[in-house]
Amino acid sequence: MRLAMALLCLLAACGAQAAKPQQRTPFQIRCEDTIAKSVSVLTAKDNGYTVNNQLPYHALTTRTGSMDKGQETLGLTVTQGLNKAKVSGPILQDPASGYECIAPHVEIELYYSPVRIYVGNEFAPGTCAYKEILDHEMRHLQAYKDNLARVQKVVADALNKRFAGQPMYAPSGTAMSALEHEVDANWFNFIRDEFKKGEAVQDKIDSPQEYERLSKACNGEIAAILARRRK
């Protein structure tokens, strides 16, 4: 019993010692208290859109591969989620340890490439069919805009959590390259994956129910035009 109690006390003492916060070195104090806090700046940019009514619907269908699924593409919205980054920050050297610290300043811009909306040239502007198809593509456009706002919030929260106003440490002469590597290797992939999450919403817009609705829209005008083109 005494041995067990002694062992228990020893473990408790070790746990208390391990939980005690480590003292900062003079270099850490200089880095954390004297240089600027890390900053993450995130912006989202809307590059607008254009509408093209020059291609036939079968060209749009071929482009999307929808023919393999037995579907026809009457309109198409094309864009790509992109980002670019710039990193900088003040650096402090510690010759004694051979290390340096940097207060990261990370600027990331999120945007979609200019959106191109296509409506098959079988559907003339001003007609009911053209309006229905364009309205459908506008839902895709709005979904891209909503996704951009969502990605901006997710990435901003993650950036602020990652850096949290703290400096990064690295061997002398490597802090900036380490920061650049982290952004290129980790953050770009994270952002790409977040953009891709918006594809689920795009797929829901192109539901079988929506295709069925369009086939009957405008008193059958769309279906009639397609029937004539198939002959």
Q: For residue 187, is it within any domain?
A: yes
Q: Which structural domain, as residue segments, surrounds residue 117?
A: 25-230
Residue 164: what pLDDT?
Answer: 82
Most confidently predicted of 15-19, 156-160, 225-229: 156-160
Q: In this predicted model, which residue has the larger pLDDT, 69 or 43?
A: 43
Q: Which of 29-43, 94-108, 135-149 has the lowest average pLDDT?
A: 29-43
Q: For residue 130, is it within any domain?
A: yes
The number of beta carbons lying within 10 Å of the beta carbon of residue 32 is 15
Q: For residue 6, is it within any domain?
A: no
Q: For residue 94, is it within any domain?
A: yes
Q: For residue 11, is it within any domain?
A: no
pLDDT of 66 higher than 70: no
pLDDT in tens, 169-226: 999 999 999 999 999 999 999 999 999 999 999 999 999 899 889 989 999 999 888 8
Q: For residue 201, is it within any domain?
A: yes
Per-residue H/E/C for 59-82:
HHHHHHCHHHHCCCCCEEEECCEE
Question: How many structural domains compose the chain?
Answer: 1
Residue 75: what pLDDT?
Answer: 96
Q: For residue 7, is it within any domain?
A: no
Residue 122 pLDDT level (bands cut at 50, 70, 90): very high
Dmax (CA) of the chain: 97
Residue 141 pLDDT level (bands cut at 50, 70, 90): very high
Phi–psi pair at 122, nearest 5 degrees:
-70, -15
Whole-number average pLDDT of the chain: 87
What string of DSSP letters covers 115-171?
EEEEE-TTS-TTSHHHHHHHHHHHHHHHHHHHHHHHHHHHHHHHHHHHHTT--EEEE
Model confidence, pTM: 0.81
Q: For residue 51, is it within any domain?
A: yes
pLDDT in tens, 13-41: 444 444 555 788 999 999 999 888 888 88
Average pLDDT, integer, range 75-104: 95
